[in-house]
């Protein structure tokens, strides 16, 4: 029993850690999945909009482009480590909003379509869980791209330090 408890603690520490390897492993999922979705939202806008319209999505062409932009912003934020919590929130919002509408397997009568929608729905819910796990990583990430302060921010800091001295 003790051996299992010790290994469980090590696993929990490795999953919850904020070291570079942990974050790289977490972002690997995003790197694999989201580039294709981002590109497809803009390369295949008409086909995706037609499918969205069949699911009764209002202004489907605009919805496809807006969700594509949310995926680009969220994915870039996570990959670069710039405000990754906002990026994961964008991805969670996309997945949580789109999945029940586009992958409504419980409404499908065709067994193949039901299975396809169920697979995609559960995949998206797993990705929501992964994005929520990423939100638990403290910022800034060790592998984040350094954001340079603006001239205004540098001037404020200079003035604060001058007054304090």
Structure tokens at 16: 């919850």
pLDDT for the residue numbered 60: 92
Element (H, E) at 102: helix 84-102
Residue 101 has pLDDT above 90, yes or no: yes
CA 126, 127, 130, 132: dihedral to nearest 10 degrees?
Answer: -100
How many domains would you assign to the chain?
1
More confident residue, 81 or 116: 116
pLDDT for the residue numbered 139: 79
Domain that holds residue 39: 2-164
19-23, 70-74, 155-159: lowest mean pLDDT where?
Answer: 19-23
C-alpha–C-alpha distance, residues 39 and 126, integer Å: 21
Residue 83 has pLDDT above 50, yes or no: yes
35-39, 126-130, 154-158: lowest mean pLDDT where?
Answer: 35-39
What's the pTM? 0.67
């Amino acid at each position: 029993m003790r051996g299992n408890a010790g290994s469980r603690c090590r696993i929990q520490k490795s999953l919850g850690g904020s070291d570079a390897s942990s974050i790289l492993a977490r972002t690997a999922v995003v790197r694999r999945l989201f580039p294709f979705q981002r590109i497809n939202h803009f390369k295949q806008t008409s086909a995706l909009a037609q499918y969205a319209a069949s699911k009764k999505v209002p202004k489907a062409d605009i919805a496809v482009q807006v969700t594509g932009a949310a995926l680009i912003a969220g994915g870039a934020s996570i990959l670069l480590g710039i405000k990754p919590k906002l990026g994961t929130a964008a991805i969670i919002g996309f997945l949580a909003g789109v999945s029940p509408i586009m992958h409504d397997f419980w409404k499908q009568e065709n067994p193949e379509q039901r299975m396809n929608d169920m697979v995609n729905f559960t995949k998206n819910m797993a990705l929501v869980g992964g994005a929520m796990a990423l939100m638990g990583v403290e910022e800034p990430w060790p592998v984040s791209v350094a954001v340079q302060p603006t001239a205004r921010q540098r001037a404020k800091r200079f003035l604060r330090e001058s007054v304090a001295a």
